[in-house]
Structure 1
Amino acid sequence: MADIVRRFGWRHLRSTPTAHIRHHHRGQLVHDGTGLSFWFRALTAALCEVPVDDREESMVFHARTADFQDVTVQATVTYRIADPAVAAERIDFSIDPDTGAWRGAPLPQISTLLTETAQQHALDVLARTPLSAALVDGVSAVRGRIADGLGDEPRLSATGIALVAVRVVAIRPEPEVERALRTPAREQIQQDADRATYERRANAVQRERAIAENELASKIELARQEELLVEQRGTNARREAEEKAAADGVRTEAEALRTVRLATAQAEATRAAGEARADAQSAWLRVHSEVDAATLHALTGSRLAENLPRIDSLTISPDVLTGLLAKLGAAGSTGHEIPAPPTGDRR
């Protein structure tokens, strides 16, 4: 929208670079161009503002396919006004000299023209196309037909409108039909998923079986190794027992031989000791047999004195002394010698 300012009964208009301004004064074209700025009098001026930038028109319309299925087409048409002078002559782009706003509705008029024209060409294509083909290849077919139809539309060129681009966003059936169409694909996807699940389970079972077989083979090999170990242990134990028995035999023989030798030595020692004692006893007896009786008595007394207990004190009564003296006197009269008292310390 143009910017208009009032100054002392005059108006000043300032437009944008994307707006084409046409100024007529008393039926004569005074100003014509984009991005203009000028003074004018409101009572004698006729102003038009035609946008020359690219504009997009979004449209949504319903169509019916060859198999009588309703579909919704969503498209966008990009256009521009290539000839502002022609467009200003065919469509009302006049603006209020006081506010700069359009007096009419030129852009909705162009929108209606584009929508109806595009819809006509889209319906023509979809009416000859089944629903399945329309959903697969309908977007490109409809886009090409709309672009060709709008490009060849004489009314658009006569109005100064040029087509820039056409985009068809989607062609969608009714929700119930769309769900029905999704069902086979979903079932196929589910079947593929089930097949993948079954294959995964089968692979898992095969792997578990392989693992079980490996474990069983390992157990069998372990049992075989244990059997060999038991046999080897038995062999080692038997060999150890044989070696131990042989060692015990050798040790027993050695002990028996040592015992025999020890007994022989002890017997020889005992015999030698006995012979020595016999010789000593014989010599002792022979000596005693050669000694007289008085000497033997003396020796007997001496041995007896050696074996008597220690006497600390001795009390001799008169009776004992009298009898002893009498015996001594009798012995002296008979001519026997009185043995000498022992030399031991006796009290």
Structure 2
Amino acid sequence: MASIKRYPWISHFLGSPTGYVVHLQKGTVRHQGVGQAFWYRPVNSVLSEVPVDDQELPTLFHAITRDHQDVSVQANVTYRFIDPVAVSARLDFALQPAGPGAGPAPATGKEQVATIIGQLCQSHAIDQITTTTLAQALERGVSQLRTVLTEALRADTRLASTGIEILGVQVLAVRPESDVERALQTPVREQLQAEADRAVYERRAVAVERERTISENEMASQIELATRREHLVAQEGANARRDAEEKAAAGLIQAQAAAERQGINATAEANQIRLVGEAAAAREAATMEVYAGMEQATLLALALREAAGSLPSIGNLTITPDLLSGALAGLFQNPASRVVPAAGNATASGATGRSGI
């Protein structure tokens, strides 16, 4: 921004790199350009400083669509002054402040440019929006308005004659009223909420499916364990049964062996007894054959000897007359007829002798 140092009857001006100064003295241009520095007399001089850098002008206005809906348009216009001398002649960019008692200061050049461009933008935007519905304005209004406003402002003769060049127009938003906007957002919000609910339900369904899979796996594991336990119990039972059968078979074999052993022992014992009996019988038979040819007295003597060997010790012996008479009678009988009776008498005498003891 330019700076002015004031002295009595004279002042000094020092310009800025972005301000184009026009010094008029008695209606004649004495100095002009960017970054000027000069002395001047305030009583007969007029200074105007026109910015030559790019200017940004935000604007906001309302329009009615074809279906009678109010929309607000927010735009931003970029412009610059390409002919500062013409601008200073058409618009007020004076640097001289108003003196005391001069009333309110008039509108500055920037305010005038903002009013001109804002009215032009609003006029052309309204012409465009009135031909579209609210849905079309919200859907394609930004791009359409940007094109329409850029072409209209660049082709405007007043701006061109004033020395204003439009560099660009940006339409930032085309929005309906708040109630209408909320109503328009409701279906989308409901759809998004439905999508969110569907995602939640799908997530829950996936969780339930996973839990079911886990439960099925646990149940399958339990069934597998029960099956294996059943096989183990069956195998243990089969092993116990096989063990019992083996023990029973071994016991049977042992019993059969014991029975066979007892049979063999009994047979051997019976054979032994039979052989002993046969031997004893043969000996008795041989003895009887020997005794058959012996005399009665000899047999009596042998019987007495055998009886004496088996009898206990005799302290005294009593011989009765009957025993003596019988013995004497036997001595005088025939040898052939006294063999058998002699044995009988010997037995009787032996018995009598034992009884008399």
TM-score normalized with structure 2 length: 0.65
Cα contact 1:96–1:103 (8 A) shared by 2: no
Alpha-carbon deviation of 1:251? Answer: 9.2
Report the secondary structure of 2:170's partner residue: strand
Q: 1:227 aligns with which of 204, 226, 230?
A: 230
What is the match of residue 174 of structure 1? 177
In the alignment, structure 1 residue 29 sits paired with structure 2 residue 29? yes
Alpha-carbon deviation of 1:130? Answer: 0.9
Distance 1:103 1:175, change over 3 A: closer
In the alignment, structure 1 residue 215 sits paired with structure 2 residue 218? yes
Alpha-carbon deviation of 1:221? Answer: 2.4
In structure 2, stretches of 5+ residues that fail to align are 100-104, 262-357
Rounded Cα–Cα distance in structure 2 between residues aligned with 1:32 and 1:138: 44
1:162-201 equivalences under 5 Å are 162-201=165-204
Rounded Cα–Cα distance in structure 2 between residues aligned with 1:205 and 1:244: 57
CA deviations over 1:268-304 (Å, ceiling 9, x no partner): xxxxxxxxxxxxxxxxxxxxxxxxxxxxxxxxxxxxx
Alpha-carbon deviation of 1:128? Answer: 0.9
Rounded Cα–Cα distance in structure 2 between residues aligned with 1:205 and 1:27: 91
Cα contact 1:65–1:126 (8 A) shared by 2: yes
Rounded Cα–Cα distance in structure 1 between residues aligned with 2:150 and 2:117: 11
Alpha-carbon deviation of 1:253? Answer: 11
Alpha-carbon deviation of 1:193? Answer: 2.3
What is the match of residue 95 of structure 1? 95
What is the match of residue 52 of structure 1? 52
Report the secondary structure of 2:30's partner residue: strand
1:66-105 equivalences under 5 Å are 66-96=66-96, 104-105=107-108
Alpha-carbon deviation of 1:133? Answer: 1.3
In structure 1, stretches of 5+ residues that fail to align are 258-347
Rounded Cα–Cα distance in structure 2 between residues aligned with 1:174 and 1:185: 17
Report the secondary structure of 1:43's partner residue: helix
What amino acid is aligned across from residue 40 of structure 2 in structure 1? Answer: F
Alpha-carbon deviation of 1:195? Answer: 2.6
What amino acid is aligned across from residue 76 of structure 1 in structure 2? Answer: N
Report the secondary structure of 1:214's partner residue: helix
What is the match of residue 65 of structure 2? 65
Alpha-carbon deviation of 1:26? Answer: 2.5
Rounded Cα–Cα distance in structure 2 between residues aligned with 1:104 and 1:172: 31
Rounded Cα–Cα distance in structure 2 between residues aligned with 1:15 and 1:254: 141
What is the match of residue 143 of structure 1? 146
Rounded Cα–Cα distance in structure 2 between residues aligned with 1:128 and 1:176: 23
Rounded Cα–Cα distance in structure 1 between residues aligned with 2:7 and 2:93: 25
In the alignment, structure 1 residue 118 sits paired with structure 2 residue 109? no
Q: Report the more deviating stretch, 187-196 or 106-115.
A: 187-196
Number of residue pairs the alignment of both structures matches: 256
CA deviations over 1:85-116 (Å, ceiling 9, x no partner): 111111122221899xx975111111100101
What is the match of residue 3 of structure 1? 3
What amino acid is aligned across from residue 30 of structure 2 in structure 1? Answer: V
Q: Report the more deviating stretch, 47-56 or 1-10.
A: 1-10
Rounded Cα–Cα distance in structure 2 between residues aligned with 1:247 and 1:82: 128
What is the match of residue 132 of structure 1? 135
Share of identical aligned residues, percent?
48
What is the match of residue 271 of structure 1? none
Alpha-carbon deviation of 1:202? Answer: 3.3
Cα root mean square deviation, aligned? 2.8
Report the secondary structure of 1:93's partner residue: coil
CA deviations over 1:51-105 (Å, ceiling 9, x no partner): 1111111111111111111011111111111110111111122221899xx9751
Alpha-carbon deviation of 1:212? Answer: 3.2
Report the secondary structure of 1:236's partner residue: helix
Rounded Cα–Cα distance in structure 1 between residues aligned with 2:162 and 2:85: 9
1:261-272 equivalences under 5 Å are none
Report the secondary structure of 1:11's partner residue: strand
What amino acid is aligned across from residue 176 of structure 1 in structure 2? Answer: D
Rounded Cα–Cα distance in structure 1 between residues aligned with 2:228 and 2:108: 101
Alpha-carbon deviation of 1:49? Answer: 1.1
CA deviations over 1:247-282 (Å, ceiling 9, x no partner): 778999999x9xxxxxxxxxxxxxxxxxxxxxxxxx
Rounded Cα–Cα distance in structure 1 between residues aligned with 2:240 and 2:67: 96
Rounded Cα–Cα distance in structure 2 between residues aligned with 1:200 and 1:96: 74
Alpha-carbon deviation of 1:24? Answer: 1.8
Cα contact 1:47–1:97 (8 A) shared by 2: no
1:320-339 equivalences under 5 Å are none
Cα contact 1:16–1:35 (8 A) shared by 2: yes
Report the secondary structure of 2:131's partner residue: coil
Q: 1:240 aligns with which of 234, 238, 243?
A: 243
